[in-house]
Chain A
Amino acid sequence: MIAPIKPDLVTVNVDGREIAVPKGTNMIEAARLAGVDVPHFCYHPKLTVSGNCRMCLVETGVPAVDPATKAPVIDPGTGRQKINWSPRPAIACATNASPGLHIRTTTPLVKDCREGVMEFLLVNHPLDCPICDQAGECKLQEQATGYGRGTSRYIEEKNVKPKRTQLGSRVTLDDERCILCSRCIRFCREIAHDDVLGFVDRGSHSTLTCYPGRSLENNYSLNTVDICPVGALTSTDFRFKMRVWFLKQTDSIDTESSAGVNTVVWSREGVIHRITPRRNDEVNDTWMADSGRIAYKAVRSEGRLTAARVAGRDGSTGEALAAAAELFREGGVAVVGSGRSSVEEQFLTRRLAESLKARAWLVSRVGQSDKLLVSADRNPNVRGALVTGLVGELPQKTLGELSAAIDSGAVRTVVSVGEDLLCAGISLVQLGRVKVVYLGTHRDATSEAARIVLPALTVFEKAGSFVNQQFRIQKFAAAVPGPAGVQDDLETLSALIRAAGGPDLPSAVGPLWAVMAPQVPALGAVQHGTIPATGLLLDSSPWAGLPFVEGESLHHKPAR
């Protein structure tokens, strides 16, 4: 691991507490480091400072120096350097840490500023929180409670603005709720590089809208919903479906590419309602693509495999495993692993191949990189397959050698861990010639042709880890239970290993790691329990020479 570069530190003073922060840190972040919350709406740590909401007004002061001699002026009362406090409050978001800078956040002036801003933000706000979809995760609601006066002096008519503008196919806008913080505008301009949002009209009549003839269609549009501090921008998919306080949050990883975007899966009573990004400053900041947010729909989609099948008939898992054991004894087996399997599954797949003395293959999925958070490698875990030793080289789009081995009769049985072989260049004729043992979540050509089908779980129903394009190992947890009767993939794989005459390996993540880590050099001393929520970089040097398909993207510079 490379030691982080130590930034220049400066000492600032927040409400009397001295704290050393990197030079240039803005005072909202500096206060946060000092344990002081400075309320704000328009400031977002990953966007440029706009300074418009005025909620983060604080008092600032600088150490007094004699103008002539530049010597510090000492306050005789305290014996310390005198502080020249500015009579005018300043916004903490646009005030950067400089040596000796003092801020006060608890004075009557600051309290009055916050009460004033809160009152202003609410005078034209609908105040219909009980029917607003943002209730429960609304910054306006929270800060009105925390910093507002609690009563209103406003008796005039409120502004009337458009209530449900479709900004794009996935985002709906209620302009009356908008507090004009411009976070969404800045996001589109600065992060998504799709400058489509802006304000029209002026003053309190300012209205958020798309540029004429344009709409908010980029694959990151739903991030505007995430960062909207109020109920103005809502997800057309999620709005008015569920109250957020009923939802359970589970940390997960987006599987749409090797970027390894950190996510939160929101579920209630075993049903997933939405996926949002989880902040990881080394991977995805606070963003994720829209395409990754609908992945949960596969959980309850048509064609889900929920029962084991043997030779076209439903059967028990036991029957299926016994039938597999019989096939394995006939020899001539090949194993097709998956870049979508977890590290743990890939390790067991490798052990299965070893037990069968079979060669293991991997199928690639390559698309266009969007240079942001959808990388060219659409498998989330090709590096996991390298790290665990499942394969030694990068996967190919089609399994040409396997195809030849099937034609020559050398391979008579194929175990596929979640890969539709038809998509991997194996023809229907070839599928008819071999006996397939298929672990899969959904019905496809391979499940139809398979001799033995073992139902598997989606990423939302199981736990494990993936290694992303940076060689960062990241954990995910089970958000919802799998369909009744479907056992965990690790259990199925370890049962298949036993069926192949291999050892009895643990089928729970924790105990499995105790066995796996010593056999996987890149994991070294890593223990599953100690991987932080933001992941851990592994030593990638053994694979430095491989021609990985990913290009440059957010927080990823390929080594060339």
Chain B
Amino acid sequence: MPAERRIIFEHIDQPGYTPDLDCYVRHGGYAALRKAVACKPEDLVSEVKRSGLRGRGGAGFPCGVKWTLLDRRSGKPIYLIVNADESEPGTFKDRYIIHQDPHQLIEGIMITCFANTVKQAYIYIRGEFPEGAKILERAIAEARAAGLAGPNILGTGYSCEIYVHRGAGAYICGEETGLIESLEGKRPYPRIKPPYFPAVLGLYQCPTIVNNVETLCHVKHIVSMGGDAFARIGTPNNTGTRIFCVSGQVQRPGTYEFEVGKITMGQLLYEVCGGPLPGRKFKAVIPGGSSAKVLRFGEHYKGKRRAGAEMVDYDWALEDVPLDFDSLALVGSMGGSGGVIVMDDSASMVEALGNLNAFYAHESCGQCTPCREGSLWMKRITARMVSGEGRAEDGELLKSVADQIAGRTICAFGEACAWPTQSFVQKFAAEFRGYPEARKSAGPSAAPLV
């Protein structure tokens, strides 16, 4: 069994570890910031680029590249936004960091701000995390009092303020341009890209970095160990560790930190998480948060992939798929936010999809026609199927509706709400066709869907 490699989660759930500054400093905290402020900002950026760190929020975009895309010649202030909206269903890692180790995040923020000459950073935390917001406020106050944030940080003359901004409970506020609109006090309608790339026209039309909580924590460790050392963790192009949030029908759900690509789906689910519940078999898994395409146990994936400089053949069962960004993309899904949602043979894929569709219909911001109308339509179809009024052709209709959404909207919510339907229907076509008949003979549904 591959061993966990706890970097971000080093102190999480450790007895006696508290979220206050003293405890953090006792464990070596803020040494990386002291090291960073002695460096030139541009050297820190190249260090992060060398580390190969990819964003842990969902898209997996290289963090250092994101920073170099900033428009530094506009003369406008540069903002950092910490995306702590953690709203992708199946994802619950950032909350652990915020609750148990807030100073790790603050240290990552301050290093990132220093590296990018940012004077103001905003932590956009989801509305459902009131406790997290309080903890962060407390931690920021402590850091300010100790000269680790706010004016004249560590006596260097460099100043940077961090503000906590609570969302009001909307999934779309995790989309970076929707988040920016919300932070500006407006409805979180995602912006059209181009021209509104945050690196150029972000918060208040100024260049802006938007990074996930986990990503920023990694920055701290990159500065501590050096970019090259970080790049040796994990696998090429998929460096470092990442936190997998395993939920659903599995023996030991929870958060696990592994080197990226050094563990397979089978190892994670059977060895680390103890396999299926007694008497059950795994049926399907969503590997990267609810919008990632579902993978079916029994599937095989074949093809050629890049390994370093050369191309090699791969022939994987689902259990063999390494959990890294590139491999999960190869098998038609994504690493996303690291939320691994497991379904066993007791789960109805129609009902599971009905649950997801209800979520997406509720969370569509309503800006673009296809997503606004399509997400609700898909919800209504699956709800009707679950209520016993399904038709054998509903699966195809669902898929066709989803096909009319993906790729045709302003933001990636279009894909996020279409991918579950597309993949569920495609991979479980027979179940969708047979569900209406089976549902009739099963009698009234035990629990109504959301």
Contact = CB atoms under 8 A, between A and B. Distances in A.
Interface of A: 49, 51-55, 57, 88-89, 91, 94, 112-113, 116-117, 119-121, 123-124, 153-154, 156-157, 159, 179-180, 198-199, 201-206
B410 A52 contact: yes
Nearest to A93: B192
Nearest to B406: A88
B34 to A, nearest CB: 42
Contacts of A198: 187
Given A52-B367, A204-B361, A119 B404 contact: yes
B374 interface: yes
A94 B380 CA distance: 32
A51 B408 CA distance: 11
A180 B369 CA distance: 8
B192 A94 contact: yes
Contact of A54 (B189, B369, B375): B369
A113 B369 contact: no
A542 B410 CA distance: 54
A54 B189 CA distance: 15
A51 B410 contact: yes
A89 B407 contact: yes
A302 B108 CA distance: 78
A153 B187 CA distance: 32
B192 A51 contact: yes
Nearest to A205: B366
B235 interface: no
Contact of A123 (B170, B189, B373, B400): B373
24 contacts: A51-B368, A52-B189, A52-B368, A53-B369, A54-B368, A54-B370, A91-B192, A112-B404, A113-B404, A113-B408, A117-B404, A117-B408, A120-B369, A120-B370, A120-B373, A120-B377, A153-B400, A156-B381, A202-B170, A202-B364, A203-B361, A203-B362, A203-B365, A203-B366
B176 to A, nearest CB: 17
B372 interface: yes
Contacts of B237: none
B354 to A, nearest CB: 13
B161 interface: no
A202 B366 contact: yes
Given A156-B377, A156-B380, A204 B408 contact: no
A204 B370 contact: no
Contacts of A94: 192, 194
Interface string B125-142: 000000000000000000
Contacts of B368: 51-54
A116 B377 CA distance: 13
Nearest to B186: A198
B384 interface: yes
B251 interface: no
Contacts of A119: 404
B369 A117 contact: yes
B229 interface: no
A52 B365 CA distance: 11
Contacts of A159: 376
Contact of B372 (A51, A57, A116, A203): A203
Contact of A204 (B372, B405, B407): B372
Nearest to A41: B369
A57 B375 CA distance: 19
Given A123-B377, A179-B369, A202-B366, A89 B408 contact: yes
Interface in B274-322: none
Nearest to B391: A155
Nearest to B394: A155
Nearest to A206: B366
Contacts of A116: 370, 404-405, 408
A91 B409 CA distance: 9
B449 interface: no
Q: Name the residue among B187, B194, B369, B384 with the largest chain A CB count within 10 angstroms.
A: B369
Contacts of A206: 366, 372
B287 to A, nearest CB: 24
Contacts of A204: 361, 364, 366, 372-373, 375-376
Contact of A120 (B192, B361, B404, B410): B404
Instruction: Give the 10 A-B residue pairs with the shortest CB-CB distance, closest first.
Output: A116-B404, A120-B373, A206-B366, A156-B380, A203-B364, A204-B376, A203-B366, A51-B192, A52-B367, A202-B366
B302 to A, nearest CB: 23
Nearest to A154: B377
Contacts of B365: 202-203
Nearest to B362: A203
Interface string B370-408: 101111110011001000000000000100100011011
Contacts of A49: 192
A388 B370 CA distance: 58
B376 A52 contact: no
Nearest to A94: B192
Contacts of B367: 52, 180
B20 interface: no
Interface string B343-370: 0000000000000000001111111111
Contacts of A180: 366-367, 369, 372
A195 to B, nearest CB: 11
Contact of B408 (A54, A153, A157): A54
A52 B367 CA distance: 6
Contacts of A156: 377, 380-381, 384
Among B194, B370, B407, max chain A CB count under 10 A is at B370
A126 B244 CA distance: 46
Contacts of B375: 203-204
**Listed residue (A49, A201, A206) with the most chain B CB atoms within 10 angstroms of its CB:** A206
A179 B368 CA distance: 10
Contact of A153 (B370, B397, B407): B397
**Of A49, A156, A198, most B-chain CB atoms within 10 Å:** A156
Given A54-B409, A156-B384, A199 B404 contact: no
Nearest to A198: B187
A92 B241 CA distance: 42
Nearest to B187: A199
Contacts of B374: 120
B366 A199 contact: yes
A186 to B, nearest CB: 12
A153 B192 CA distance: 30
A157 B366 contact: no
A107 to B, nearest CB: 14
Nearest to B393: A153
Nearest to B194: A94
Given A49-B192, A53-B368, A204-B373, 20 more contacts: A52-B367, A52-B410, A53-B369, A57-B408, A89-B407, A94-B192, A112-B404, A124-B373, A156-B381, A179-B369, A199-B187, A199-B366, A202-B172, A202-B366, A203-B361, A204-B361, A204-B364, A204-B375, A204-B376, A205-B366
Given A199-B187, A202-B170, A121 B377 contact: no
Contacts of A112: 404
A121 B369 contact: yes
A52 B369 contact: yes
A228 to B, nearest CB: 16
Contacts of B377: 120, 123, 154, 156
Interface string B166-190: 0000101000000000000001010
A52 B372 CA distance: 10
B431 to A, nearest CB: 21
**Which of A89, A112, A116, A153 has the most CB atoms of chain B within a 10 A radius of its CB?**
A116
A179 B404 CA distance: 18
A124 B370 CA distance: 12
Contacts of A199: 187, 366
Contacts of A123: 373, 377
Nearest to A115: B404
Contacts of B397: 153
A198 B367 CA distance: 12
Nearest to B171: A202
A57 to B, nearest CB: 6
